[in-house]
Structure 1
Amino acid sequence: MSSPTPSAHDAPSGAPAPAAPVRRVRSALVVALAAGLVLGAGGVAAAWALSGDEGSARGGAADDAHHACDALRGFGEPEHTAEKTEREIALNRLAAAVSLSAAAAAGDREFKPLAEALRRVQNQYARFGDFNEPEAQKHLKTARSLCADI
């Protein structure tokens, strides 16, 4: 008796295909995260401004600047190794401060230095992914100093 011959589809097809190498796209991820946070914070800031209380209707740019500084006071630079939730909260607070300061600067040029300092902090983070970077710290110090006068 002869043994049955295996069909062609039962035969092994050779070595498994090699897996594609994992590419590190950290910088693209950081930029995408920062852009998403800016857009999200812009929506939050717009909703905050539109739903605002009587103070927002009276104060306009000054109230936006005050709220930007409130958001900045709630912002703490998370460590690079911080938990995802902690980083997300910090980044959203920074993005809210950036958006509100931009609204304040649009309403009154007096607040333009605050908006520029906060935008630079956000840009430095998007570029390096670290708030401890010296330029980011410099701009944070400037923004906090400007907020102390608001």
Structure 2
Amino acid sequence: YAALRIFFTARVADIKPVSMPPLWIALLSGAMIGFISGITGVGGGIFLSPLVLLMGWAAPKETAGVAIAFVLVNSISGLFGYWSNTLTLPPQILYWGIAVIIGGWIGAEYGSHKLANPIIRQVLAGILLLGGAKMLFAALG
């Protein structure tokens, strides 16, 4: 639902300034998303970005920036949780880390300078559809 709504609707946030949520709502939303992300193994940005866009708390480019910071914190927390249970890290972690840094830098440059907000919304909607389909197929076996 969120993916289709994001894809097909132009939000006021794309056109005029947006309003920030109260601090307690932002903290509660972040805690809930972090919890859901932790128990499902799905990155928090997949939950955070639609919430921020659909609630009109930020425009697409700002949403991407917020999601990046959120995903970084969740990823570090998840990595620490994994390490605390196994006391080892996958040997490929260095390669994954380098790939993430390079891909993130290229994506941030391209998204912030080349793509318009409506295109970013459509890309996000596509990612949400893919993520939802992956979760559905994994649940169905």
TM-score by length of 1: 0.33
TM-score by length of 2: 0.34
Could you say which structure has the larger radius of gyration? Answer: 1
Higher helix share: 2
